[in-house]
């Protein structure tokens, strides 16, 4: 299963596409670097890392991969 990586926009609180599409294994393995994306919701550039991100379309038992830390501004 492949899904979009999503982050929470710090301006609007919406979940937005983080510019990366991964399968579960790749997401679980970790995203090494701090990433930058132009936000679909507010148009600003946000930086994010693995801890800010979730993978779209997770089944309930996969929500353990969902990490809920604050975005690095």
Instruction: Tell me the backbone φ, ψ of residue 63, rounded to 5 degrees.
Output: -70, -10
Q: How far apart are CA 17 and CA 36, in angstroms?
A: 11
Contact region with Zn ion (CB under 5 A), list: 6-14, 23-31, 49-57, 58-66? 6-14
Among residues 3, 11, 15, 58, which is the contact residue for Zn ion, using CB under 5 A?
A: 11
What is the distance between the terminal CA atoms of the chain, rounded to a whole angstrom?
A: 30
Among residues 5, 6, 7, 9, which is the contact residue for Zn ion, using CB under 5 A?
A: 9
Among residues 20, 21, 26, 42, which is the contact residue for Zn ion, using CB under 5 A?
A: 42
């Amino acid at each position: 299963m492949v899904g979009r990586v999503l982050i929470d926009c710090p301006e609007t609180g919406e979940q937005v596409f983080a510019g990366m599409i991964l399968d579960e294994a790749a997401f679980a393995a970790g995203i090494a670097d701090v990433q930058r994306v132009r936000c679909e919701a507010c148009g600003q550039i946000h930086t994010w890392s693995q801890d800010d991100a979730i993978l779209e379309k997770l089944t309930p038992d996969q929500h353990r991969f969902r990490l809920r830390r604050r975005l690095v501004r």
